[in-house]
Amino acid sequence: MNLLLLEDRDFIDEHQVRLNGRRLAHMQAIQQVAVGDSLRVGRINGLMGQGEVTALEQDHAELRIQLDTPPPAKLPLTLLLAMPRPKMFRRILQHCATLGVPEIILLNSYRVEKSFWQTPFLQPDVIRENLLLGLEQARDTVLPRVRIEKRFKPFVEDSLPGLINNQLALVAHPGDYPACPRGIEEPLTLAIGPEGGWIPYEVEKLVEAGMQPVQLGERILRVETAVTALLARLY
Amino acid sequence: MNLLLLEDRDFIDEHQVRLNGRRLAHMQAIQQVAVGDSLRVGRINGLMGQGEVTALEQDHAELRIQLDTPPPAKLPLTLLLAMPRPKMFRRILQHCATLGVPEIILLNSYRVEKSFWQTPFLQPDVIRENLLLGLEQARDTVLPRVRIEKRFKPFVEDSLPGLINNQLALVAHPGDYPACPRGIEEPLTLAIGPEGGWIPYEVEKLVEAGMQPVQLGERILRVETAVTALLARLY
């Protein structure tokens, strides 16, 4: 935890918070803080700054809060991600939050198993919890937006062209395509397929909607690795 | 499993293998192969090609093997990695093998907890198993070399300068340093610190040995994410 994230409900007045649960346990067991210590804090979707521990009890801690620093900039990116296998999904949410993705759209695809959509990890509070873990790691406060699109064709035909809006849009896909560009600065919509990849029909539809296929070399990456590798190469 | 990796001991003659255990179970349960099916195969540290299933029993399978394709090129890289937390270590080994790292040196650092060196995951057969999982994913056959250096100072003073050999050498460290370069093609020694980073003394010693500090931006990445992000950006 590189940043202690504060919820609105933690504030007992403008400059004072009271914490318990996971964050209190972390302060006690891992950080071993004492009264008077100063911690990096951030208000969720708000500013970052310092928190001085003013009280530390078994069941709660209080901190005096000074917020003055804006969170780091997000990437100018919308990530269109075929719904990953649940055990990988949580880690991908964390990676995306850490790397600064502001918007994630979870999309169906032929190779997404139906059961993936049943995972409890898709519940809003579980998504939020994993995004917060990623933000804590990176020292960011702003929660990415996550949207669920379970119908590939209507989304790609009706919504995607407007979302791309004639700006750069890439679909990562192995094959005889140009190499993924490096070090871009412009807004981008990036589509990453499921394990096993998009099927040809899906690539076709994504291209019709305005996306250009690009590849990352002959090595086949796990989705989790591909997300990090693509973002690190692009920005 | 994108590639079925074959051990020397699997070969019952030059073009015939017999398999059991994990690989047999995977062929049966996940790939649901039948006699006559053709699979992508590769001989560990050797060529890749096709294997035709000639027999499939409860306790073994036999395949006729044709090997004709060289594995993909490795990155021209030596990765110097502060020994990671065990649960992350296995995944990092897999990522490194997938991404084409040919040589990994596991180094001690002030912030590496002593217990990390006690993990059973450091046993040669467990290291090999995790590297094989990464190779299977990427479709590569060549096992990365893994070396253990538990003493930071003697290694960095006595061995590292010869290893760098006046070629490019970078240490990834947050701070007021140049941004990590992109799309290089030359040989590189890259040092990645532990969770919490190298201590200043260690950065100093790495620089004395010939490394240049570079940074990846203000977001703090987990070691696992940093490994993938740095390699994807550099190559």
8 Å CB contact of A220 and B137:
yes
Q: What is the pLDDT of residues B176-208, one digit of tens each?
A: 999 999 999 999 999 999 999 999 999 999 999
Does domain A77-234 correspond to CATH entry 2.40.110.10? no
Which tokens belong to A80?
A: 């269109």
Question: pLDDT tens for residues B86-113?
Answer: 999 999 999 999 999 999 999 999 999 9
The reported pLDDT for the residue numbered B31 is 86
Residues of B in contact with A97 (CB under 8 A): none
For chain B, state the CA radius of gyration. 20
How many Å lie between the alpha carbon of A118 and the closest alpha carbon of chain B?
21
Q: State the nearest Cα–Cα gap between A105 and chain B, in angstroms.
A: 21
Residues of chain A contacting B216 with CB distance shorter than 8 Å: 232
Mean pLDDT, residues B210-218 taken together: 96
Q: Across the interface, do B228 and A230 touch by the CB < 8 Å criterion?
A: no
Three-state secondary structure string covering chain B: CCCEEECHHHEEECCEEEECHHHHHHHHHCCCCCCCCEEEEEECCCCEEEEEEEEECCCCEEEEEEEEECCCCCCCEEEEEECCCHHHHHHHHHHHHHHCCCEEEEECCCCCCHHHHHCHHHCHHHHHHHHHHHHHHHCCCCCCEEEEECCHHHHHHHHHHHHHCCCEEEEECCCCCCECCCCCCCCEEEEECCCCCCCHHHHHHHHHCCCEEEECCCCCCCHHHHHHHHHHHHC
Mean pLDDT of chain B: 96
Closest residue on chain B to A140 (Cα):
B219
Q: Which of A29-33, A88-92, B11-15 has the lowest mean pLDDT?
A: A29-33
pLDDT in tens, A33-68: 999 999 999 999 999 999 999 999 999 999 999 999
Rounded-to-integer distance, Cα B19 and Cα B27, Å: 10
Query: Any idea how long chain A is?
Result: 235
Nearest to B52 by CA among B27, B73, B87: B27
Smallest CA-to-CA distance from A226 within A39, A85, A95 is with: A95
Q: What is the CATH T-level fold of the domain B4-69, as seen in this structure?
A: Ribosomal Protein L25; Chain P (2.40.240)
In this complex, the residue of B100, B182, B221 whose CB is nearest that of residue A219 is: B100
Residue A134 has pLDDT above 90, yes or no: yes
Render pLDDT for B45-82 as a digit per residue (tens, 0 to 9).
999 999 999 999 999 999 999 999 999 999 999 999 99
| pLDDT-based confidence at residue A1 (cuts at 50, 70, 90) | confident
CA distance A6 to A10: 6
Residue A105: strand pairing partners? A80, A147
**All structural domains of chain B with their residue ranges:** 4-69, 77-234
Beta bridge partners of A86: none
Q: Please tell me the distance in Å from A123's CA to the nearest CA on chain B.
A: 25
Confidence of residue B30 (pLDDT cuts 50, 70, 90): confident
Using DSSP's 3-state secondary structure scheme, residue A32 falls into: coil
Chain B partners within 8 Å of A218 (Cβ): 72, 139
CA distance A198 to chain B (A): 16
Distance to chain A for B18, nearest Cα, Å: 26
| Complete DSSP assignment for B22-42 | HHHHHHHHTS---TT-EEEEE
pLDDT for residue B200: 96
For position A130, what pLDDT does the model report?
97
Pick from B137, B183, B228: CB nearest A182: B183
- All residues of chain A having their beta carbon less than 8 Å from the beta carbon of residue B230 are 232
Q: Give the residue among B102, B101, B138 at the shortest CA–CA distance from B5.
A: B138
Mutation target to probe the B interface, by most B beta carbons within 10 A, among A87, A140, A215, A220 is A220
Residue B52: what pLDDT? 97
Q: Which residues contact A159 (CB under 8 A, 6 or more apart)?
A: A149
Q: Indicate yes or no: CB of B219 within 8 angstroms of CB of A183.
A: no
Closest residue to A233, CB basis, from B2, B221, B232: B232
Nearest residue on chain B to A223, judged by CA atoms?
B137
Per residue in A164-195, pLDDT (tens digit) is 999 999 999 988 999 999 999 999 999 999 99
What angle do helix axes A124-138 and A86-99 make, rounded to 10 degrees?
A: 40
Closest Cβ–Cβ partner in B2, B98, B182 for A225: B98
> Above 90 in pLDDT, residue A153?
yes
Q: The tokens 């990590």 sit on which residue?
A: B180
Q: How far apart, in Å, are the Cα atoms of B128 and each of A98, A163, B44?
A: 30, 45, 11
CB contacts of A72 in chain B (<8 Å) are: 217-219
CB contact under 8 A, A222 and B182: no
In percent, the amount of chain B with pLDDT more than 90 equals 95
Record: contact B221-A137, CB cut-off 8 A = yes
Write out the residues of chain A at the interface with chain B, using a CB-CB cutoff of 8 A: 2, 72, 95, 98-100, 137-140, 182-183, 217-222, 225, 228-233
- Say yes or no for a CB contact (<8 Å) between A225 and B100: no
The pLDDT confidence band at residue B15, using thresholds 50, 70 and 90, is very high
> What's the mean pLDDT in B151-176?
96
Rounded Cα distance between A151 and A169, Å, is: 20
Q: Where are the alpha helices (DSSP H) in A34-167?
A: 86-99, 124-138, 152-154, 160-164
Residue A132 has pLDDT above 90, yes or no: yes
